[in-house]
Every structure is written in C-alpha cells, then in structure tokens.
Amino acid sequence: MIKRKCAGCGQIKDRNEMLRLTREKTTGNVIVNPNSKIFGRSAYLCYNKNCAEAAIKKNRLQKALKTNISEELKGKLLNES
C-alpha cells in the first residue's frame, strides 16, 4: 500500500482511497486524475467536501501543485466532493 497525505485535512491514507489532482507535465493544466495514467506533479484530497474547502481556502493545492487553480476546477471540486 502506498500512503499519501490529504492536502485538506493532513490525514495519511492509502492513495487508492483519495482523489488525485495532477498538473500535467506537458501542458501545465491541472486535472482530476482518477486512474493515475497521467504524469506530472500531484496532490491528493479525501473524498469529502470539507477537505476540498480547506485545501482551496488555505491555498494548499496551489502550493502542492506549484501553479494556480482555475475557478472552474475549484467549483468542480466543491460540487463533486
């Protein structure tokens, strides 16, 4: 089992239990990467709205991915979580 830390709450969980966000290496776009087939810098979130809100509010996703997060992706994360 490979463990990862949630960018929202800081809990360490198995990476298969978390949502993976990846900044694509070639284009620099940030996408939701459920099957881990796309390479690039990644950040993980628990599957709950509180973690997504905390990560966005405290800019933890931007820091982890070293890029800006679009408003469209922020809205998508808050609605889907």
Return the pLDDT at 50.
94
The set of long-range contacts for 56-61, using a CB threshold of 8 Å and a minimum separation of 24, is: 60/7, 60/8, 61/7, 61/21
Return the pLDDT at 81.
61
User: Which parts of the chain sit beneath pLDDT 50?
Assistant: none
Catalogue all structural domains in the chain, each as residue range(s) with its CATH number: 3-80 (3.30.1230.10)
Return the pLDDT at 34.
81
The pTM of the full predicted model, rounded to 2 decimals, is: 0.89
Return the pLDDT at 8.
94
